[in-house]
């Protein structure tokens, strides 16, 4: 089953990114989505190679954001595609069935489409305003998640859904009650001075109701 906590990387340079990713892995994160926007192909490739090596060392899943061909080139575990990126069905045809393909969604219709096209998990958001992402989709809030997850249940659509966008520690329990699978966070982990403690707290809340 997919981990309930995804870390989306931050940093404007290769060094910053590696520093943040290494610290997140060291603190117990075992799912990294590398997000390195508006950079040269050379720098993005160099970073991806280094992150792949790190993730292998920590036995963590390594997902590349947006860049399907890079994910294929370096044999990452998968790719995460935004709403304006390549079509999921197209990506599946290129990557094959063994790779993980995640898709961003803002509505029930987005999820329906992604599932139909062979998506593996959904990043549903934003939960609230976040400065991490440009061109933000309409904010969902708790009620938005509840509504969409109920609709999925009604339509018998089953796929891991991750909440994303400006999530705090105190949001997790109420969010989990909506029926989501987990959360994808960036700033919360990057900016924390006590990453190990934070990740422990996050996992406690995320796995609180899981029957082992």
**Is the per-residue pLDDT at 62 higher than 90?**
yes
**Is the per-residue pLDDT at 211 higher than 70?**
no
CA 70/CA 53 separation, integer angstroms: 15
Per-residue pLDDT at 210: 65
pTM for the full predicted model: 0.95
Q: Burial, 1: exposed, middle or buried (Cβ in 10 Å; 0-12, 13-18, 19+)?
A: exposed
**Is the per-residue pLDDT at 74 higher than 90?**
yes
Q: What is the pLDDT of residues 88-120, one digit of tens each?
A: 999 999 999 999 999 999 999 999 999 999 999
Name residue 157's beta-bridge partners.
Answer: none
Sorted by sequence, the CB contacts under 8 Å of residue 161 that are 6+ apart come out as 111, 121, 122, 124, 148, 149, 152, 179, 180, 181
**Is the per-residue pLDDT at 51 higher than 80?**
yes
Q: Are 49 and 34 in contact (CB under 8 A)?
A: no
DSSP state of 171: G
């Amino acid at each position: 089953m997919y981990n309930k906590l995804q870390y989306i990387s931050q940093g404007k340079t290769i060094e910053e990114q590696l520093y943040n990713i290494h610290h997140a892995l060291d603190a117990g994160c075992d799912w990294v989505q590398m997000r390195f926007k508006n950079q040269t192909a050379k720098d993005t490739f160099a970073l991806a190679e280094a992150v792949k090596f790190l993730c292998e060392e920590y036995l963590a899943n390594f997902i590349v954001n947006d860049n399907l061909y890079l994910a294929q080139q370096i044999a990452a575990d998968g790719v995460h595609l935004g709403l304006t990126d390549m079509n999921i069905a197209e990506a599946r045809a290129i990557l094959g069935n063994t790779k993980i393909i995640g898709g961003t969604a803002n509505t029930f219709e987005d999820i329906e489409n992604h599932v139909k096209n062979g998506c593996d998990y959904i990043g549903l958001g934003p939960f609230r305003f976040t400065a991490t992402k440009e061109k933000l989709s309409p904010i969902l809030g708790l009620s938005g998640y509840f509504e969409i997850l109920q609709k999925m249940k009604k339509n018998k659509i089953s796929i891991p859904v991750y909440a994303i966008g400006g999530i705090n520690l105190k949001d997790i329990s109420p969010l989990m009650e909506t029926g989501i699978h987990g959360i994808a966070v960036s700033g919360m982990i990057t900016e924390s001075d006590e990453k190990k403690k934070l990740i422990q707290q996050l996992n406690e809340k995320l796995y609180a109701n899981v029957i082992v």
